[in-house]
């Protein structure tokens, strides 16, 4: 009888475990990790939220609603095009990275849903393939009008598709449109599909959305802002089209993204047809930074989205004053429709103020960065260089991340481990701390970098172990301490970019390096392995200190 009871209890427990919805299991685990790491959250938990709604890898985002669910695609790093999921527009959890075959960096994308499939249109940018070479944004905006198949190959427009936003996604399918960027998808009321691009160009798509028909056509000239505005360039880009109440509404960005604080903006135009003619809003711009002392600068690149209660919002990006190193962060404001049919941000809606939250379910928030490396699949938080191949250059599992050392160990005169193998995460707090256990073989160096762009070569702080030395170095400073043994615990602490470094023999008792520094950049935290052999990392811990 007792044995029968035990079997019944075991069956009930198994049923309960199997019956727990996967989304809620993910939500609970994610929420616990977020609280532990003290990641920033927009949701104040009382029916209100505060911007930004997403910090971190969120450049040039695009948002989409399908039923009760919202999906966002955002660029940055490699692998690229991170898909996020939400049911309330303010709490977002990551699903997958779409782009994994490198043929250039992805620029602004458009995520759309049509007849049971998800499509991600984007521009792959590889200046090595182009005729013009590297240009600043203002120069790029002045390039002549391209034609299909004959534009500059540095800008290659592609599409990927999936039946589930969490993947699997197709490989990039080339559309034969070069020299333009920022594709924006739209379907007219008859079911015809089109792509818009920067500088007001458009082209017809095939019914399956995977190829183009006919030639490019220029259909929109943008909005002429006052001549005394302080902007980088007109730079008409980022078209996002929404149908509402008999009109197509075209949101575009102007002003340039890399110029003055007041450069970028969101403008609105409308038309009864997809091909125009387009009428500019008398209330333009919809979004714009008017004072370079404002908290959010270079605000632009917006998308309209309707929530499940029929209220409208605009999601867009902006740079945080004093923390421009974070890149474009995601901001959201409510939209009201004027009596004459134009979207406007209410006068009392300010990106620095507390705002009423949209309705919906909280699925969890943020992308935890800590990793015990228990899974043989690399965590979604990690990025690496396009040249690195998982399995060949690094592997994870059984509590370890093993990086095959490569490149040159830096000498005393430099801190850049050129060509090293790296795994990187993007910090999301103004102040943070990371810890990791490192095992380094003879002939190798391994540790933690705080550096700039994943595709660049700037290193701002380096904390590592090599043969007989514990190292903390940065521009103009060097700390080389005698250290015996092959294992070390490393800690890097950033207090609003004042950097202090620590080391430990056992992970419990810590010693601080005698000198500290302040960095002017520091967009990513990287584990790295230089020299020869295999460097082992264990128990990577990230904690927000805000």
Partners of residue 512 on adjacent β-strands: 502
pLDDT-derived band at 1, boundaries 50, 70, 90: very low
Angle at 108 between CA 105 and CA 113, to 5 degrees: 115
Give residue-wise pLDDT tens across range 272-293. Answer: 999 999 999 999 999 999 998 9
Mean pLDDT of 138-146: 48
Determine contact, residues 55/61, Cβ cutoff 8 Å. Answer: no
Determine contact, residues 465/448, Cβ cutoff 8 Å. Answer: no
Mean pLDDT of 109-126: 95
What local confidence, expressed as pLDDT, does residue 185 receive? 98
Determine contact, residues 52/33, Cβ cutoff 8 Å. Answer: no
Give residue-wise pLDDT tens across range 368-427. Answer: 999 999 999 999 999 999 999 999 999 999 999 999 999 988 765 555 677 899 999 999
What local confidence, expressed as pLDDT, does residue 28 receive? 43
What local confidence, expressed as pLDDT, does residue 514 receive? 87
**Sign of the CA dihedral with 302 first, then 303, 307, and 311 last:** positive
pLDDT-derived band at 546, boundaries 50, 70, 90: confident
What local confidence, expressed as pLDDT, does residue 181 receive? 93
H or E element in which residue 18 lies:
helix 2-19
Which is more confident, 171 or 414? 171
By the 10 Å C-beta count (0-12 exposed, 13-18 middle, 19+ buried), 14 is classed as exposed
Determine contact, residues 501/472, Cβ cutoff 8 Å. Answer: yes
Distance CA 152, CA 492 (A): 44
- Count helices and strands (H / E) in the chain: 3, 38
pLDDT at 17 over 80: no
- Where is mean pLDDT largest: 17-26, 128-137, 175-184? 175-184
The single-letter DSSP state of residue 321 is: T
pLDDT at 150 over 80: no
Determine contact, residues 100/146, Cβ cutoff 8 Å. Answer: no
pLDDT at 194 over 70: yes
Give residue-wise pLDDT tens across range 74-91. Answer: 988 889 999 999 999 999
Which backbone phi and psi does 26 adopt, to 5 degrees? -60, -40
pLDDT at 367 over 70: yes
What local confidence, expressed as pLDDT, does residue 229 receive? 95
Share of the chain above pLDDT 70, in %: 85
Nearest to 54 by CA among 14, 101, 86, 19: 86
Determine contact, residues 262/293, Cβ cutoff 8 Å. Answer: no
Would you report the helix, strand and coil content of the chain in percent, each value rounded to 5?
A: 10, 45, 45
pLDDT-derived band at 146, boundaries 50, 70, 90: low
Mean pLDDT of 472-487: 83
By the 10 Å C-beta count (0-12 exposed, 13-18 middle, 19+ buried), 531 is classed as buried
User: Could you write out the three-class secondary structure of 154-204?
Assistant: CEEEEEEEECCCCCCCCCCEEEEEECCCCCEEEECCCCCEEEECHHHEEEE
**Preceding peptide of 285 cis, ω within 30°:** yes
Distance CA 33, CA 365 (A): 10
pLDDT-derived band at 6, boundaries 50, 70, 90: very low
pLDDT-derived band at 38, boundaries 50, 70, 90: very high
Which backbone phi and psi does 243 adopt, to 5 degrees? -95, 135
pLDDT-derived band at 4, boundaries 50, 70, 90: very low
Mean pLDDT of 89-98: 96
Nearest to 198 by CA among 226, 174, 218: 218
What local confidence, expressed as pLDDT, does residue 148 receive? 62
pLDDT at 537 over 80: yes
What local confidence, expressed as pLDDT, does residue 523 receive? 80
């Amino acid at each position: 009888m007792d044995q029968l009871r035990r079997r019944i209890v075991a069956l009930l427990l198994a049923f309960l475990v199997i019956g727990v919805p996967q989304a809620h299991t993910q939500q609970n685990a994610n929420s616990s990790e977020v609280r532990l790491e003290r990641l920033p959250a927009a949701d104040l938990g009382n029916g209100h939220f505060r911007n930004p709604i997403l910090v971190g890898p969120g450049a040039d985002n695009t948002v989409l609603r399908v039923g009760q669910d919202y999906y966002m695609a955002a660029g940055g790093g490699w692998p690229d095009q991170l898909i996020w999921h939400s049911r309330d527009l303010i709490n977002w959890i990551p699903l997958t990275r779409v782009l994994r075959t490198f043929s250039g960096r992805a620029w602004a994308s458009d995520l759309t849903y049509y007849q049971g499939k998800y499509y991600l249109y984007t521009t792959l940018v590889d200046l090595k393939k182009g005729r013009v070479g590297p240009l600043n944004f203002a120069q790029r905006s002045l390039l002549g009008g391209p034609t299909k198949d004959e534009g500059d190959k540095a800008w290659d427009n592609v599409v990927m598709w999936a039946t589930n936003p969490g993947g699997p996604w197709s490989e990039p399918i080339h559309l034969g449109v070069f020299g333009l960027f920022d594709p924006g998808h739209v379907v007219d009321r008859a079911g015809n599909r089109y792509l818009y691009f920067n500088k007001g160009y458009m082209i017809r798509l095939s019914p399956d959305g995977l190829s183009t028909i006919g030639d490019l056509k220029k259909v929109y000239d943008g909005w002429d802002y006052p001549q005394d505005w302080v902007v980088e360039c007109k730079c008409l880009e980022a078209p996002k089209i929404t149908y509402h109440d008999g009109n197509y509404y075209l949101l575009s960005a102007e002003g340039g993204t890399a110029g003055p604080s007041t450069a970028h903006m969101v403008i609105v135009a409308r038309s009864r047809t997809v091909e125009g003619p387009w009428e500019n809003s008398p209330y333009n711009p919809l979004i714009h930074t008017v004072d370079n002392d404002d908290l959010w600068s270079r605000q632009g690149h917006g998308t309209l989205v309707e929530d499940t209660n029929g209220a409208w919002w605009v999601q867009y990006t902006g740079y945080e004053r004093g923390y421009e190193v974070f890149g474009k962060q995601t901001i959201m404001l409510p939209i009201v429709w004027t009596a004459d049919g134009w979207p406007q941000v209410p006068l009392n809606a300010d990106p620095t103020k507390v705002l009423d939250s949209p309705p919906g379910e909280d699925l969890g928030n943020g992308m935890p960065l800590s990793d015990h490396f228990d899974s043989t699949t690399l965590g979604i938080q990690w990025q690496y260089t396009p040249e690195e191949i998982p399995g060949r250059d690094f592997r994870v599992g059984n509590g370890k991340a093993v990086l095959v050392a490569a490149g040159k160990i830096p000498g005393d005169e430099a801190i850049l481990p050129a060509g090293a193998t790296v795994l990187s995460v993007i910090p999301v707090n103004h102040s943070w701390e990371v810890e990791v256990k490192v095992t380094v073989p003879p002939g190798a160096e391994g540790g933690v970098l705080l550096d700039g762009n994943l595709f660049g070569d700037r290193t701002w702080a380096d904390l590592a172990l090599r043969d007989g030395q514990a190292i903390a170095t940065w521009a103009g400073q060097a700390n080389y301490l005698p250290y015996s043994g092959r294992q070390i615990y490393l800690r890097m602490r950033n207090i609003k970019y004042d950097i202090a470094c620590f080391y430990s023999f056992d992970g419990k008792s810590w010693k601080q390096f005698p000198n500290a520094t302040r960095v002017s950049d520091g967009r990513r935290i990287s584990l790295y392995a230089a020299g020869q052999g295999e460097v082992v990392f264990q128990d990577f811990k990230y904690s927000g200190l805000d």
